[in-house]
Amino acid sequence: MKNVKFETIVTHLQTYGFVFQGSELYGGLANSWDYGPLGVEFINNLKRVWWKKFVQECPMNVGIDSAILMNPKVWEATGHIATFHDPLIDCKSCKSRYRADQLIEGAFPNVDAGKMNQTELMAFINERNVQCPVCGNHNFTDIRQFNMMFKTHIGVTEDSQSQVYLRPETAQGVIINFKNIMRTTRGKLPLGVASIGKAFRNEITPGNFTFRTREFTQLELEFFCAPGTNLKWFAYWKEYALHFLKSLGITEGNLRFRDHDPKELAFYSKATSDIEYEFPFGWGEIWGIADRGDYDLTKHQQYSGKPLDYLDPETNEKFIPCIVEPSLGLDRLALMVLTDAYEEEELEKDTRVVMHLHPSIAPYQVAILPLSKQLSEKAKEILAIINPHFNAVYDETGSIGKRYRRQDAIGTPFCITIDFDTALDQSVTIRERDSMKQIRMPIEELIKYLRVKVFY
């Protein structure tokens, strides 16, 4: 990791319009973020390259877009209503609120408190005299369980009969449609179903900018396979996911697998592994790859009373499929990519801030820069040629050096400069962001040249 403070990167992203504080006009809303003009282009590009890699390039995968609001029985079947809780604890002195496991890990970084039950957490806090990070006192309430699902109501009355939940994950919208997907696609196992969508968790202690939020977008794949093959596919998707991150240009030394030990695994899982990234604030989980066994389909079959088994056309055997789930949060992926891309590069006479974003995901792939405002008409003709093929931005304000620096700072990989010779030779100068090298090229060759350089 380059020696750059996380606060510096956050300030840069907010200054240039990647991310804004949510509801900033009214003083903001805690842990709510809006993606600005550059951020939304970047986020949409990330979605596109993920979908291309996990659906378009995978003939065994298809997609779905499921509803945010679902029948509450979905969450009853999966255990979310009964067990989807965080251990909540308050400081009696200053009223600060914490997740008990995170309170312990903040004081004792080498302790994995996530494995402890409620009784063990409370005992540890008392025996080790864990102090409140805000006021320094050891004066806590008992731990209580806090359900993280947001509740709302449908219809005209607000009672228990109309209560529904904002989904805490997108996976179940895929899983409950298993039969529909198999029927309409005439699919055979193995078969994966990809989904991009919002999920909501009422986190007690969100933080680290967009790393942990209450509203987030998931990039999810539920991969249905025959029992006995799930561990083979688990290993396959682990490597596939890691390869995808490397293809985005992420520094390999900042990535690692963290395989869950047997005590961490859910009772129905044979294996789970996280891909973690080393942020300036420490290692953070980016991607979870989990073997979910046949748990989800079995529970939905039990609660719905409808068969969710699969008939293998080759063996004529019926079984409940197993699921391997490579799932990641788009917001965490975005923060990782932006963090890894940021560099303050020392040049001979000054320092330039540059975002080394892969061309396929940069907010703008091309900047059109006329050397003088007198050349704006010709420059806009070239912009019209470029725009149908690439996301381009036009800038004619300031010296050409300052305009190059502005594009470096937002990650634009190519700048096209129109000069006074362009009208004579029908050529322009292309400057590459990372090397800062410049080449002269005929206008008619631009699209072909950029297509090779840009597309993922």
Residue 252 maps to a domain: yes
> Rounded to an integer, what distance in angstroms lies between the CA atom of residue 405 and that of residue 382?
21
Alpha-carbon distance 437 to 432, whole Å?
6
What's the maximum distance between 2 C-alpha atoms anywhere in the chain?
Answer: 81
Number of domains in the chain: 3
Those residues whose C-beta lies under 8 Å from the C-beta of residue 417, and which sit 6 or more positions away, are 369, 370, 371, 400, 428, 429, 430, 431, 438
Give the per-residue pLDDT at 456: 56
Query: With contact defined as beta carbons under 8 Å apart, do 204 and 100 qualify?
Result: no
Establish if 346 belongs to a structural domain: no
For residues 224 and 278, state if they share a domain.
yes
Are residues 395 and 432 located together in one domain of the fold?
Answer: yes
List per-block mean pLDDT (blocks of 10 residues) for the chain, which spans 456 residues: 84 96 91 95 97 96 96 92 83 91 90 85 94 93 87 81 91 97 94 97 81 94 97 97 96 95 86 96 94 96 96 94 97 97 90 95 97 94 96 95 96 97 95 96 96 83
Q: Could you tell me if residue 357 is inside a domain?
A: no
What is residue 443's predicted lDDT score, i.e. its pLDDT? 96
| 325 lies in the same domain as 312 | yes
Supply the pLDDT for residue 1.
44
Among 121, 147, 173, give the residue marking a domain's end.
Answer: 147
Q: Tally the residues of the chain.
A: 456
Residue 35: φ, ψ to 5° = -85, 125
The domain boundary, picked from 307, 340, 373, lies at 340
Strand partners, 99: 88
Same domain, 260 and 379: no
Residues 175 and 31 in one domain: yes
Same domain for 176 and 75, yes or no, is yes
Nearest partner of 203 among 28, 31, 334, judged by Cα: 31
Assess if residue 375 is contained within a domain: yes
What does the pLDDT read at residue 160? Answer: 67
